Chains A and B, each alone.
Chain A
Amino acid sequence: MNPPSSSRIKVRPATEREGRKDYITIKDYGFWYGQKKALDAISLDIPERQVVAFIGPSGCGKSTLLRNLNRMNDLIDDIRHEGDITINGRSIYDPGLEVISLRRRVGMVFQKSNPFPKSVFENVVYALRVVGVRDRAVLEEACETSLRKAALWDEVKDRLDDSALGLSGGQMQRLCIARAIANRPEILLMDEPCSALDPIATGKIEELIHELKDQFTIVIVTHSMQQAARVSDRTAFFYLGKQIEYDTTEKIFMNPSQAQTEAYISGRFG
């Protein structure tokens, strides 16, 4: 087995930080859309405050898995699952756990930026508004903090009351990140956050992911191998609903144990 020709792909050495090693645990997880099985026997642990990338060809189930982490797939009719997902030891399917409170702890950024047709300010503080925060000072502070974390503050601080729809594509996506982190979730899910962005905006968002992982556990789905290599500590490779390999990013990209993984990351299929 030859190491993949990775001259183009620069792998960041994995950083070990303190925190639970099994912060998110996915165990023997299977998932069906109607009769179609989308995920099969997924088992992986995601450590606290690390970035985990899901990679794989289209339709491999990586987005489905991501969207199950905050039960976004509940919006779809006729779904069913087996196995379990726990966050910090508690099952997300626990009947005593409300979906709403789960989603407040697990923020999400989507493939297409989807700001609300409201002002920049109202977009950012929306998550606080829905939990009933009315205090203007608190909202303003949260707005500034989130926008700073999302590296957008300097660009929009003078136009907080303008419509968010007037921002550029990259700004909109960073605004969505700011919105997702405004109520301080523990986990941030990113579903191909850069697929619609130009390289400069992509670079900014990747930089942002580095910054954010000090505070959040980040799960990112990406089609870009380079991106996975650049931003993640661990990488999982999926193919046809199955988990092929899950290891440190360095290992996956430098020395994958599965031939399929190697073939995919070296661009021979996918």
Chain B
Amino acid sequence: MASSSDSSTPRGEAWVWFTGLGLIIGLGMVIGLLSLVFVNGITVFWAPPVPVAQVDDGRTIIGQLAQRRIRAGSPADQPRYELQYQVGLRELNGNSYLWVDETKIKAEAFPADVLGLERVEHGPAFVRPQSLRKSDGKVVLITDSAFESALQAEVSAAAEVREKFEEITRHRIGDVNHEMDEARVALRRAEDLKLADEIAVRRRQIEGLEERFVILKAEAQKIVNGGAVALLDTKDAAGREVVIPLTQIVRAWFPNRLDTWGRTQLFASRLGEFIFDEPREANTEGGLMPAIFGTLVMTVFMSLMVTPFGVITAIYLREYAQKGPILRIVRISVNNLAGVPSIVFGVFGLGFFVYVLGGSIDQLFFSDQLKYNNNTPVFGTGGLLWCSLTLALMTLPVVIVATEEALSAVPRGMREASLATGASKWQTIRDILLPASAPGILTGVILAMARGAGEVAPLMLVGVVKLAPTLPFDGTAPFLHMDRKFMHLGFHVYDLGFQSPDSDAARPMVFATTLLLIVLIVFLNLGAITIRNRLRARFKGASF
């Protein structure tokens, strides 16, 4: 009569372990991916000591260790490793990176005079400086104890000059060019319409602008040629003399002299540049501010567009539409929309939003622009607005489904109570159902944001570019330029990783950019989740 229920041995539930296994595998993959991205992304900014290595074949290498991997074809039980050094000085070495067999390295030292340089062009450099010819003509030798401070002073002076130059060339000359474009369009229009007064006014305006342009150009030239340029005399690993003008140097550090605090400061400075500055060197160096900004603005606009659309659609489907086969087909279609490859949305966005909608807007409101500015489109080309709309369309099913679920989860009693007091259906939806389902709707928006912010493929077709000259937001009216092309972190990852001429140089930035994108999405989501939790707290204790 021993039945399982009165057995004295407790019986486990095997399937519980099985479900746990699924969780563990999932979590393991997510944590693995995140830590890979995090570790690789964050170490990009850390400056390790830089060895001077002697190789068997007589070469000397000065470079930062980038990778260590098993040599292809080496036996599995006795793996042989090869090392990749970032040696820099691309203009001399042809390549910034170098692979060396680990066993071929005879000796390795960390001399204190190795200098790391980040440069405006040609990537980084690792050299052994000899002397610094300061801009005031004095020469400081490497043996001089004041060498480092003199070098850093010259680096910051050069940075200031560069900044002034940038200010003039990018902003002030940019403004002149912008006005010039407008004036030329106006002039062509005036000539076409034979408005004599207008022609004269515009010609004078253009002349004035040309004068301003020449003055600014001269000013910029004066800044560049202004003082004597400080020069840094160095020797590279092979002992060749290399003269580097200080104007080329963005950052200089002695990697083998730095203590932990110094490395931390350098880390913070590089991280700050990464987040707040504009990119250099075909995006492989410098910062990502425009891409961060572009991603953020686009995601916010996408959310602002998809939420009302999705909520209105869901309200109609759930509350008003007649139940029947047609409604079922519409529902199935909406759900299937979520499975359409995103590139298809990009193609649709290009075909419909950009060409049809944007083209019509240009015809209607910017016909002068088209006619007198070589058919240069304004909205008839990819831009922030079309990207946001395309992604809004792509994420629409998520919001619709979430809203429908949220509406149907509102307790029936609440709906009945409202109707029983004589409220109309619309009043019930507006005053009772929508507020009560707001947390659920926000969950949908959060999912949509997470999907939209990480999307790349459709954006390449409708307005994301590798390098945008201007931000979509600036000081000229109407301040927010929805027609402008912009940069995007996701596209940046693709562009760096797969389109970059020097993939070794781009590799660290790919990780750093990925990390940044993940952090950005996490922050956007945290914001939305905070709002949702506040809303939820308001409905807590509802006992239906």
Q: A residues near B, CB below 8 A? A: 70, 72, 75, 77, 100-101, 103-104, 107-108, 110, 112-117, 126-127, 129-131, 163, 165-166, 169, 172, 176, 179-180, 182-183
Contact = CB atoms under 8 A, between A and B. Distances in A.
Given A114-B414, A117-B414, A130-B421, 11 more contacts: A100-B422, A101-B422, A103-B420, A107-B421, A110-B416, A113-B543, A116-B418, A116-B432, A117-B436, A117-B539, A182-B421
Main secondary structure, interface of B, reads helix
B541 A166 contact: yes
Given A114-B544, A165-B540, A165-B542, A176 B419 contact: no
Given A116-B432, A117-B538, A166-B541, A130 B424 contact: yes
Contacts of A70: 420
A114 B539 contact: no
A70 B541 CA distance: 29
Contacts of A176: 417
Contact of B418 (A77, A126, A166, A172): A126
A179 B419 CA distance: 12
A163 B538 contact: yes
Contact of A127 (B414, B422, B539, B543): B422
A147 B420 CA distance: 18
B341 interface: no
Contacts of B418: 116, 126
B323 interface: yes
5 contacts: A107-B420, A110-B416, A112-B543, A129-B431, A169-B543
Contacts of A110: 413, 416-417, 420
User: Can you list the 6 inter-chain pairs with the closest CB atoms, starting with the nearest?
Assistant: A104-B422, A114-B413, A108-B420, A127-B421, A130-B423, A165-B541
B501 interface: no
Q: Which of B417, B421, B432 has the most CB of A within 10 A?
A: B421
B422 A103 contact: yes
B4 to A, nearest CB: 38
Interface in B313-356: 323
A131 B424 CA distance: 10
Nearest to B540: A165
A189 to B, nearest CB: 8
Q: Which of B422, B540, B543 has the most CB of A within 10 A?
A: B422
Interface string B401-439: 000000000010111111111111001000110011000
A112 B544 CA distance: 7
Contacts of B421: 103-104, 107, 126-127, 130, 179-180, 182-183
Interface string B497-540: 00000000000000000000000000000000000000000111
